[in-house]
Amino acid sequence: MLVRIFVFLLGFGLTVIGGVYMISYLNLLTIGYNFLEYVNFILRRIECLSFMIGILLISLVIFIPGGNKYELHI
């Protein structure tokens, strides 16, 4: 149970970090980049890929069943 909580919090942290970088890189649109160039730039940055890794970790923790049979499942 503690491992699932840790992985969830790790995924949440990675999602927040990636989201903040993606929002901060929106300034590229003001200096003349078009939207496709922005998306291409975002896909190549490691700190922005942490957003997708975080979403994947959160999804795995939420949707993959685990634990023993005596835990309450809500």
| pTM score of the predicted model | 0.80
Number of folded domains that form the chain: 1
Decide: 61 and 51 in contact? Cβ < 8 Å: no
Residues 6+ apart with CB under 8 A from 58: 8, 11, 12, 15
Residues 6+ apart with CB under 8 A from 9: none
Q: Is residue 16 one of the residues assigned to a domain? A: yes
Average pLDDT over residues 23-50: 91
pLDDT value, residue 2: 86
Q: Is residue 69 one of the residues assigned to a domain? A: no
Coil, strand or helix at 29: helix
Indicate if the pLDDT at residue 72 is higher than 70: no
Q: Is residue 30 one of the residues assigned to a domain? A: yes
Q: Is residue 66 one of the residues assigned to a domain? A: no
Q: Which residue from 61, 55, 72, 67 is spatially nearest to 18, judged by alpha carbons?
A: 55
Domain containing residue 25? 2-59
pLDDT in tens, 10-35: 999 999 999 999 999 999 889 989 99
Residues above pLDDT 70, as percent of the chain: 89
Residues above pLDDT 90, as percent of the chain: 64
Q: Is residue 15 one of the residues assigned to a domain? A: yes
